[in-house]
Structure 1
């Protein structure tokens, strides 16, 4: 009896929320100023959520190495020229992600509060870029922006190392922002005959080089997506703009600079990776990454498939359906290419899924946003999905906050011990720190030497 009463009250509560969503949707979409206001409010709320966690996330892992520059005996970073010198040595001695690590060192060089604010703003820009890749030149949707933000925190497998840890966010969040910004030119093109002058072509060529120089597996998927967009233009007898070809050429050049860095071989030798990867390992990687794809992206793509069926069942506009299906498949193919190119790599850490998960969120969003909200059943489905995503995000965020706060407290205790021991050069021995959620960052085997050099104090991590 009590269960029945509770269930009825819960049903009434959900029904009132859905009616409320109906009200704000019909009223806000008629007023552009109120749309902008409400979209800004959504961005502000999620941006503040990111800022709170950024403020709580201490310097960890590679932050120490990229702050001190001791790897190349050049001392602590003092000027921008120190960063240039560091990255020159880094390109030939460790890896080709120059763009990512320049961003990382700039963030580590400025005041920590400024870095946290900038990192949070980068997240807000990242969410908006996903949103605009979904809607293109279409109508705004408040619920869609809420869903995009929620899905990022729900689906991304390692938030702590891709959105919060400064060096990690430079490699994944910031580089994905660059990738989405570059790709937006191709997404928004609609054969409108816009003129691209020589300076603009040079600009997108340079942006293409920078974009190609960001992240190995995500850029591989990006190249495929760009090619598919150009083929789409041709198939629809659109004028293929010069900038699209020049941008692709720049993208490939940047990609070559990235993967051909001499430091990539040095790093593989140093950490003991077998390169090139033998065929037997490639086959095992294929199986393992297929399982991981189902685990990480299975629910997302099942929802996308359901939305696709609902779309095709309720829309008679064949031309529009064709375009939507093309966009859906294009971003999905880009995500899958970014997964399976990694079967040739010795390692595929969870944080390296960031870019391809982003592509997959866009592919789902395109189908989801295309469902006709004028049909009551589809509108209720869309509202229910948004509502459920918000509830799940809230639960995950609360768990993550307590984990990040715990890690921050431990690091504050560590710094106090280091400060006490530094004068006498007494070794500091810390127990291995493990994160309890995907929002935190654990210690690694590379941490002790980097933190020892940074604080100029003997430090060891006991595993």
Structure 2
């Protein structure tokens, strides 16, 4: 009888999960369709040096060589952008929707590091929907970071690579620092694929690339401190990530572009003021919702559950803080650029909440309530956008 009740509960949860995720994916896809190809998308659809449309991989390569020397060093993101634009708007809508779902799955993969995985597929689907909701509901600018194609390539897609890179190092930190033997098993083929992944991550953007490198270095330091063997892939990842960072930051195009920023001609005191203003705007405006949520989760774990923060959670929290703080070095900090930092906080939340549920299963009720509210907010803002686009909201 107990087994029968469990099966019925799992079936019901599965149905609910399918419905909620279905609503989420359909809403996301429809929104993708109604965000037009615009602004920088139109320029990146060309060879950049002139108005000739890109037609093949050779055109994209030539465009990126010109871009690297004349406008900026984010070659990985913009190469990906041009390939996606080359596939056409319909294909791009599908790819972007899949990328958003995959991002949610990566967050759940991170959460799995804290143990107590989902007991049924329905539970997984509901949590996946909540995470997708959080990525929208806590986002400083969901449209420009995930739906505008130029923003999606620079933030949505690139951050997936960054999270994959961070995952293997956080996993290693947990294995070494916490003595979790179950995480010490080598990931298949990592000695090979860590190199291209590290290059992509380092060559991604000016704040998350260096932050990822620091996490890699910290993981190596932890192994040395704990008298653990430093694995070859850890060293390769750190070296090639650093190389990618250097290639990205030292691109001649960055200096050309910087020379066109008006604020760089201001006095030194004025420039310092504006840099700090931009950084604190990141913390207190762009990232404020996710920081408040993270603080609430941390307070609950520490003072209610009486548990200290784990090293992996501290690393991710530090990554969110440092990656936003790094924008102090940039004369321009648009809200969409806070996406990577937001994801670091969401990853930390996922780890803390999974651990909380492991300690007390009743915590799952709170996760569903708070997560459900954020999911509803996400569906509201996307539905509002669709209503305006369709002319239903005047």
- Which of 145, 150, 153 is equivalent to 2:136? 153
Shift, 1:275, TM fit:
7.6
Q: Which residue of 2 aligns with 1:162?
A: 145
Change (3 A) 1:165 1:265: same
**Aligned pair 1:115/2:98, yes or no?**
no
Alignment of 1:405-420 (within 5 A): 405=390
Verify the 8 A CA contact 1:87 1:101 in the aligned structure 2. yes
- Which of 45, 58, 64 is equivalent to 2:42? 64
Q: Which residue of 2 aligns with 1:256?
A: 246
1:187-208 deviations in whole A, cap 9, x for unaligned?
Answer: 33335554579x7424212210
Verify the 8 A CA contact 1:332 1:360 in the aligned structure 2. yes
Answer with 1 or 2: which has the greater Rg.
1
Name the SS for the 1:239 alignment partner.
coil
Shift, 1:76, TM fit:
1.5
Alignment of 1:47-196 (within 5 A): 47-69=25-47, 71-73=48-50, 75-136=52-113, 138=115, 139-140=117-118, 142=124, 143-189=126-172, 190=175, 192-195=183-186
Verify the 8 A CA contact 2:202 2:240 in the aligned structure 1. yes
1:146-188 deviations in whole A, cap 9, x for unaligned?
Answer: 3311111111111111111112111111111111122222233
Change (3 A) 1:65 1:376: closer
Change (3 A) 1:256 1:385: same
Name the SS for the 1:157 alignment partner.
coil
Q: Supply the distance in 1 between the matched residues of 2:254 and 2:242 (Cα, whole angstroms).
A: 18
Verify the 8 A CA contact 2:140 2:287 in the aligned structure 1. no
**Aligned pair 1:285/2:268, yes or no?**
no
Alignment of 1:397-436 (within 5 A): 397-405=382-390
Show structure 1 runs of 5+ residues with no match: 1-22, 410-435, 437-463
Q: Supply the distance in 2 between the matched residues of 1:56 and 1:24 (Cα, whole angstroms).
A: 42
Q: Which residue of 2 aligns with 1:210?
A: 200
1:117-162 deviations in whole A, cap 9, x for unaligned?
Answer: 1111111111211222233262135354333111111111111111
Verify the 8 A CA contact 1:221 1:336 in the aligned structure 2. no
Q: Supply the distance in 2 between the matched residues of 1:271 and 1:181 (Cα, whole angstroms).
A: 34
Q: Which residue of 2 aligns with 1:7?
A: none
Find runs of 4+ consecutive structure 1 residues off by over 6 angstroms: 23-26, 34-41
Change (3 A) 1:121 1:24: farther
Shift, 1:381, TM fit:
2.4
Change (3 A) 1:67 1:360: same
Q: Which residue of 1 aligns with 2:375?
A: 390
Name the SS for the 1:266 alignment partner.
helix
Q: Which residue of 2 aligns with 1:221?
A: 211
**Aligned pair 1:303/2:286, yes or no?**
no
1:14-45 deviations in whole A, cap 9, x for unaligned?
Answer: xxxxxxxxx999943xx9xx999977765554
Q: Which residue of 2 aligns with 1:428?
A: none
Name the SS for the 2:131 alignment partner.
helix
Name the SS for the 1:129 alignment partner.
helix
Change (3 A) 1:78 1:277: farther
Q: Supply the distance in 1 between the matched residues of 2:193 and 2:64 (Cα, whole angstroms).
A: 23
Shift, 1:78, TM fit:
1.6
- Which of 256, 270, 281 is equivalent to 1:266? 256
Shift, 1:310, TM fit:
2.8
TM-score (norm 2): 0.84
Q: Supply the distance in 1 between the matched residues of 2:319 and 2:204 (Cα, whole angstroms).
A: 16
Verify the 8 A CA contact 1:282 1:344 in the aligned structure 2. no
Q: How well do the aligned residues superpose, as a CA RMSD in angstroms?
A: 3.2
Verify the 8 A CA contact 2:27 2:379 in the aligned structure 1. no
Name the SS for the 1:215 alignment partner.
coil
Change (3 A) 1:403 1:228: farther
Verify the 8 A CA contact 1:218 1:338 in the aligned structure 2. yes
1:77-104 deviations in whole A, cap 9, x for unaligned?
Answer: 1211111111111111111111111111
Change (3 A) 1:292 1:187: closer
Change (3 A) 1:166 1:376: closer
Task: Give the length in aligned residue pairs.
Answer: 375
Alignment of 1:313-462 (within 5 A): 313=303, 315=305, 321=307, 324-372=309-357, 375=360, 378-405=363-390
